[in-house]
Amino acid sequence: MEKVKIELSPYDALSILSFCREYVNDELADEPIFIALKKSVKAFEEELTKNLTEDQYEDAKAENQVNRLMGTCPNNYKP
């Protein structure tokens, strides 16, 4: 099967993974729509793990800290 290639910053990729982990949990695992989504999240995580360097991971963590301090992190989101 041919794969789709998408370029994301490490921060964006980790943010997507974090969101997916939070909302695709074991409680919903048996729902048909989440079975396919959970499989996709696992594949995304495996690719990210293979390709993300330690430096990129540290940069993403630093960007997350800056976003929290600036109030632009999703956890600090204010409409």
Nearest-angstrom CA–CA distance, 13 and 44:
9
Rounded mean pLDDT of 52-66? 87
Q: What percent of the chain has pLDDT over 70?
A: 85
Question: What single DSSP character describes residue 56?
Answer: H
Rounded mean pLDDT of 36-65? 87
Q: How many CA atoms lie within 13 A of 48 on its CB side?
A: 20
Q: Which residue ranges make up each domain of the chain?
A: 30-72
Nearest-angstrom CA–CA distance, 49 and 42:
10
- Report CA-CA distances (Å) from 31 to 18, 35, 42, 58: 20, 6, 16, 35
